[in-house]
Amino acid sequence: MAVKLMQGNEAIAKGAVAAGCRFYAGYPITPSTEVAEVLSRELPKVGGKFIQMEDEIASMAAIIGARVGGLKSMTATSGPGFSLMQENIGYAAMTEVPCVIVNVQRLGPSTGQPTAASQGDVMQARWGTHGDHPIIVLSPISVRHSFDLTIKAFDFSEKYRTPVILLTDEIIGHMREPVELPDFKTVKIFEHSVTEKPADYKAYRNGPGDVPPMAAFGTGYRYHITGLFHDEVGFPTQRLDEIDPWLERVNTKLTNHMDEIALYEEDYEDGAKVALLSYGCSARTARHAMKLARAQGQKVDLLSLFTIWPFPEKQVEALGDKVDRIVVPEMNRGQLALEVERIVGRKKVRRVGLANGEMVTPQMVLEKMGG
Amino acid sequence: MTTPRAGTGTTTKMADRTEVRLAGEGGQGMILAGIILAEAAIHDGRNAVQTQSYGPEARGGASKAEVVISSGEIDHPEVLEADVVITLSQAAFQKFSGSFGPDGRLIAADKEESEKASGSIKPGGWLIVDEEKVDSSAAPKNVRLIRLPITKMAVETTGKGITANTVALGVLVGLTDVVSREAIEKAVTARAPKGTEDMNRKALQAGFDAAERVKAKK
């Protein structure tokens, strides 16, 4: 494919097709609508289905149902729609149905400002639905990265049987950059293979391994699906000897695999005592500030997080051991900074939060870096 | 270390970084013009990032596209201190020319204050306005102000006001050379709806010609 000027949201749609997504259900909302627009054209060409639903609650339900029926599925939304999806995101986590939810963040709360950028849904993406549950949240920093992380989102959702949130923002979603996409045929993602006979199959067996293979409905494998706590074949249970192993397996199935799930980029210098830590559009600003500081002879480290949940504790702890100060620019009033503070201590962290729709500027970051 | 400050030359900008802001009323096609400019930069073999900002309205309001052009990596994707600003409407001028604060108060006269404006223009940078649509008496004094009847030129050249964005691109490129003329012509033609290629080529040429007349006068 040739180099083409492409929008972040378009790259997400292309990444979904490349990853084998064949079902999209959604309700259009600024600034995510381009994802739906592109998929409404592209999915029918590859035998996929596009449905515009009546709302985001139904959209989320539809993509869960589609995946149970065997199709890789996705939806895309923004703030108000993401709030409506929370109940069914919890259902997907409880029933361990893979699915990808794109949230192109806009300024909130409530209707907020539809066309203004934000990174205000960091905590909602982790804790928006009730109860302890695992979830993966990825955050891209460029148009090409939006394509690549969408594929990763599908890969992780399948491999770990979990909803994955692609948490992008209005800046990255609407930004256009020159990109050259790979041949979609070269894209490989995890595929479930069920080796048991249908009679022996347990969709929720608690070991060996922490992720049981998933069989699609209609392929001869029978199991029950419920949002209630369930036994290994999916029927409701109140027995602690059935609930406890499930809780343990499901709440560690991601953290046990952080070596694979934690995606990040380190740009470190020997002797640096100040670091910048960021994600999404603000990671671009952080990199800009890093280059300016280095051009002036200041040593500075940069940690860009692409996986933000589960929080990459190991990498942040190591950075905290290396430097005296970590500056965290983000387009909110300090959300991911709370996690950094939890790991390295409040005294080492300087927040640069802006929650009015404007990007943090390199100058604001430099001022917090200090001398 | 001394902290670099925005608005004092290019200290928070990278070398080899050209920043262009194109603004107008929603519907005037200035975001499309930004996309075309970014595509032209790619034809020139350079890197470009285009971002945009617009209100909730489909028509009206003030919208802008920003294009950052460089031969290297572009990190912060938005304009920090514009090399070129072109505005086709009064609302866009007020919002994006660096002349007014967020409260609408005129601040261009005060240098310190004007450096705080989100839309600040580099000293010596270009501010191009449609003279029939924009009262530019409040323009910053330290920029090269160019006043041309861009929309009127579009109507006279093609009979259609909607080609004003293409004329604007011709003026912008003709004056500032942020991309090559060959590249912008290729990019405009590629984006023109089928059957309107010639019309858009003429509109672009009208912009080039106007730029030449401005240069000849100086």
Domains and CATH numbers, chain A: 4-186 (3.40.50.970), 264-369 (3.40.50.920)
User: pLDDT over 90 for what percent of chain A?
Assistant: 98
Answer yes or no: do A175 and B50 touch at CB < 8 A: yes
Question: What band does B23 get if pLDDT is binned at 50, 70 and 90?
Answer: very high
> What is the pTM for the complete model shown?
0.94
Q: Which of A1-5, A21-25, B193-197 is the least confident region?
A: A1-5
For residue A339, which phi and psi values (nearest 5 degrees)?
-70, -40
Answer yes or no: do A292 and B35 touch at CB < 8 A: no
What pLDDT shows up at residue B169? 98
Measured in Å, how far apart are chain A's first and last C-alpha atoms?
46
Q: What is the mean pLDDT of residues A228-255?
A: 97
Q: What is the mean pLDDT of residues A141-146?
A: 98
Question: What band does A371 get if pLDDT is binned at 50, 70 and 90?
Answer: low
pLDDT at B84 over 60: yes
Task: Tell me the residue type at A59.
Answer: S
Question: What band does B26 get if pLDDT is binned at 50, 70 and 90?
Answer: confident
Q: Which of A304, A363, A364 should we substitute to test contact with B (largest number of B Cβ atoms within 10 Å)?
A: A363
**Which structure tokens are listed for A133?**
């549950």
From the list A30, A281, A361, which residue is nearest B6 (CB)?
A361
What pLDDT shows up at residue A49? 98
pLDDT at B39 over 60: yes
Q: What is the mean pLDDT of residues B30-36?
A: 97
From the list B12, B54, B77, which residue is nearest A363 (CB)?
B12
Residue A225 and residue A95 in contact, taking contact as beta carbons nearer than 8 Å: yes
- As a dihedral over the C-alpha atoms of residue A249, residue A254, residue A258, residue A263, rounded to 10 degrees, the angle is 170
The structural domains of chain B, with segments of one domain joined by +, span: 18-149+172-195
**Which structure tokens are listed for A74?**
């996705």
Tell me the residue length of chain A. 371
Nearest to A50 by CA among A84, A75, A83: A75
Q: What is the mean pLDDT of residues A307-323?
A: 98
Q: What is the mean pLDDT of residues B134-146?
A: 89
Non-local (6+) Cβ contacts of A222 within 8 A are A198, A201
Non-local (6+) Cβ contacts of A131 within 8 A are A90, A94
Q: What is d(CA B117, CA B201) in angstroms, rounded to the nearest whole number? A: 36
With beta carbons under 8 A apart, name residues in chain A contacting B47: 178
Nearest to B151 by CA among B167, B135, B128: B167
pLDDT at B110 over 60: no
* pLDDT one-digit tens code per residue, B66-82: 999 999 999 999 999 99
pLDDT at A39 over 60: yes
Question: What band does A208 get if pLDDT is binned at 50, 70 and 90?
Answer: confident
With beta carbons under 8 A apart, name residues in chain A contacting B82: none
Non-local (6+) Cβ contacts of B45 within 8 A are none
For residue A98, which phi and psi values (nearest 5 degrees)?
-65, 140
pLDDT at B99 over 80: no
Q: What is the mean pLDDT of residues A112-121?
A: 95
Look over chain A and give the mean of its residue pLDDT values, rounded to a whole number.
Answer: 97
Residue B176 and residue B157 in contact, taking contact as beta carbons nearer than 8 Å: no
Answer yes or no: do A284 and B51 touch at CB < 8 A: no
pLDDT at B1 over 90: no
What pLDDT shows up at residue A78? 98
What pLDDT shows up at residue B120? 79
ipTM over 0.85: yes
Q: What is d(CA A165, CA A174) in angstroms, rounded to the nearest whole number? A: 18
pLDDT at B139 over 80: yes
pLDDT at A59 over 90: yes
Non-local (6+) Cβ contacts of A59 within 8 A are A25, A26, A27, A53, A75, A77, A81, A85
With beta carbons under 8 A apart, name residues in chain B contacting A358: 118
Q: What is d(CA B128, CA B140) in angstroms, rounded to the nearest whole number? A: 12
Residue B164 and residue B148 in contact, taking contact as beta carbons nearer than 8 Å: no
CATH superfamily of B18-149+172-195: Pyruvate-ferredoxin oxidoreductase, PFOR, domain III (3.40.920.10)
- Whole-angstrom CA distances from A304 to A117, A263, A280 are 19, 9, 8
What pLDDT shows up at residue B6? 35
- In order, the DSSP letters of chain B are -PPP-TTSTTTTS-SS-EEEEEEEEETS-HHHHHHHHHHHHHHTT-EEEEEEE--S-SSEEEEEEEEEEESS---S-S-SSEEEEEESSHHHHHHHSSSB-TTS-B-TTSHHHHTTSTT-EEEEEEEEEETTT--GGGS-TTSEEEEE-HHHHHHHHHS-GGGHHHHHHHHHHHHH-SS-HHHHHHHHHHHSPTT-HHHHHHHHHHHHHHHHHHHHH-
What pLDDT shows up at residue B8? 34
With beta carbons under 8 A apart, name residues in chain B contacting A285: 75-76
Nearest to A104 by CA among A63, A76, A128: A76
Answer yes or no: do B54 and A281 touch at CB < 8 A: no
- Window 51-70 of B, Cβ < 8 Å to A: 51-56
Rg of the Cα trace of chain B? 16
What pLDDT shows up at residue B106? 58
Establish how many alpha carbons lie within 13 A of residue B217's alpha carbon, considering only the half-sphere containing its beta carbon. 9
For residue B35, which phi and psi values (nearest 5 degrees)?
-60, -45
Give the 3-state DSSP-derived string for A115-161, with helices as H, strands as E and coil as C. EEECCCCHHHHHHCCCCCCCCEEECCCCHHHHHHHHHHHHHHHHHHC
Give the 3-state DSSP-derived string for chain A, with helices as H, strands as E and coil as C. CCCEEEEHHHHHHHHHHHCCCCEEEECCCCCCHHHHHHHHHHHHHCCCEEEECCCHHHHHHHHHHHHHCCCCEEEEECHHHHHHHHHHHHHHHHHCCCEEEEEEEEECCCCCEEEEECCCCHHHHHHCCCCCCCCEEECCCCHHHHHHHHHHHHHHHHHHCCEEEEEEEHHHHHCEEEECCCCHHHCCCCCCCCCCCHHHCCCCCCCCCCCCCCCCCCCCCCCCCCCCCECCCCCECCCHHHHHHHHHHHHHCCHHHHHHHCCEEEECCCCCCEEEEECHHHHHHHHHHHHHHHHCCCCCEEEEECEEECCCHHHHHHHHHHCCEEEEEECCCCCHHHHHHHHHCHHHEEEEECCCCCCCCHHHHHHHHCC
A171 close to B (CB below 8 A):
yes
Answer yes or no: do B48 and A287 touch at CB < 8 A: no
Chain A residue whose CA is closest to B68: A177
Answer yes or no: do B76 and A362 touch at CB < 8 A: yes
Answer yes or no: do A296 and B118 touch at CB < 8 A: no
Answer yes or no: do A175 and B51 touch at CB < 8 A: yes
* pLDDT one-digit tens code per residue, A71-103: 999 999 999 999 999 999 999 999 999 999 999
What pLDDT shows up at residue B12? 58
B49 close to A (CB below 8 A):
yes
Q: What is the mean pLDDT of residues B189-216?
A: 97
What pLDDT shows up at residue B105? 59
